[in-house]
Amino acid sequence: MKPFAYRRATDARSAVATVATDPDAAFLAGGTNLVDHLKLGVASPSLLVDVSDLAADLVEHLPDGGLRIGAGTRNSDLAAHPVVRAHYPLLSEALLSGASGQLRNAATTAGNLLQRTRCGYFRDATAPCNKREPGSGCPAVEGHNRHHAILGASPDCVATHPSDLAAAMVALDATAVVLGPDGERRVPIGGLYRLPGDDPTRDTVLAHGELITAVELPAPFGGRARYRKVRDRASFAFALVSVAAAVRMHDGVVEDLRLVFGGLAHRPWRAAHAEDALRGSAPTEVALRAAADAELLDARTLSGNGFKVPLARNTLVSVLRELTDVAAEPEDDA
């Protein structure tokens, strides 16, 4: 591990000023991802600015009926928060489906959102990886790619974003409050993440030194919501496919809905085509399947991840059945 200096920040502005002016500096919060990367040689900052003491662990009501979540709020505290459980259960479900009890006790809200891909090549400092070392290549395209992207990937990077919380935050239409050297700006979480394109080094639109200080949720969406995660074991594993869904019905018709896939792309994947197909219609089994198919039309599979297309489709249809009370029907193979 490369030697680094450590500083405990006492106010957010000076923390941002310090990191923004030093390309080798990094923020440290819960450390569950960064400390791992320091050991692996994936990250090698020369200065860590610890933002744990910035009193950013408050969950407060907003005047518009929404909720402001301090960036330092631990995953376990947020998942157990009575207001979150009562009004944003999607968030609680997503958080509790991720990591382990020990990790959720340390990991923060913003740290979870900014965690990096679990692609095995990215985490192996001896392997080429365009995300870690631009221009070195992407062994996953031809290699072990069972966990990799089927939507929005590029020839340079087929990594997926691992956060369950991020998918739920996109479905909840959350906004990140971001402090930069020139002041504060607000970034909808739906627009926070990038597709890899020809610069996979950047996961998000944030500039170096920008710090998420809070996440704001709008007033509850209403209706019913569900986070379902499909993985290789029952607990403590990353998603192969996940679905964050919120559906508001009125008189048997889908009034509005939000559908987001996790585990399929470099960012949480808002299933806008599927939403458009169902919004304003009376859901049927056939309509649910058609909506899922419409979203996955552009899926491009690799040698090891073709299973994700039917898995994503079936998971989405299954969650939608539950939320719209559509009874399952056997599929006609003809």
Partner 1 sequence: MEADITLRVDGEDRKVTVDTRTTLLDALRDRLGVTAPKKGCDHGQCGSCTVLVDGRRVVSCLSLAVARDGAEVTTAAGLADADGPHPVQRAFVANDALQCGFCTPGQVCSAVGVLAEVKAGWPSAVTEGDAAPELTDAEVRERMSGNLCRCGAYPGIVAAIREVGA
Residues of the shown chain interacting with partner 1 in the complex, contacts defined by CB under 8 A: 1, 3-6, 8, 28, 31-32, 35-36, 38-39, 48, 50, 52, 76, 79-80, 85-86, 92-93, 96-97, 99-103, 105-106, 234-236
CB closer to partner 1 out of 98 and 152:
98
CB closer to partner 1 out of 40 and 187:
40
CB closer to partner 1 out of 76 and 117:
76
Nearest CA to 302 out of 183, 115, 59, 138 is that of: 138
CB of 96 to partner 1, least distance (A): 4
CB of 123 to partner 1, least distance (A): 9
Query: Can you read off the two tokens belonging to residue 334?
Result: 């003809």
CB closer to partner 1 out of 106 and 141:
106
Per DSSP, the residues of 221-253 read --SEEEEEEE-SSSSS---SEEEEEEEEEETTE
| CA distances from residue 56 to 22, 215, 275 in whole angstroms, order as listed | 23, 10, 34
- Residue ranges of alpha helices (H) inside 97-145 are 101-106, 109-113
Q: Based on the number of CB atoms within 10 Å of its own CB, is 6 exposed (0-12), middle (13-18) or buried (19 or more)? A: exposed
CB of 231 to partner 1, least distance (A): 11
Q: Which helix (H) or strand (E) holds 18?
A: helix 12-20
CB of 99 to partner 1, least distance (A): 8
Q: Rounded CA gap, 249 and 254, in Å?
A: 5
Nearest CA to 259 out of 243, 283, 277, 240 is that of: 243
CB closer to partner 1 out of 4 and 311:
4
CB closer to partner 1 out of 131 and 229:
229
CB of 49 to partner 1, least distance (A): 11
Query: Could you tell me how many residues make up the chain?
Result: 334
CB closer to partner 1 out of 3 and 330:
3
Q: Rounded CA gap, 149 and 152, in Å?
A: 7
CB closer to partner 1 out of 50 and 199:
50
Give yes or no for a contact between 210 and 17, defined as CB atoms under 8 angstroms apart: no
Q: For residue 34, what are the contacts with CB-CB under 8 A and spacing of at least 6?
A: 26, 28, 43, 48, 111
CB of 181 to partner 1, least distance (A): 24
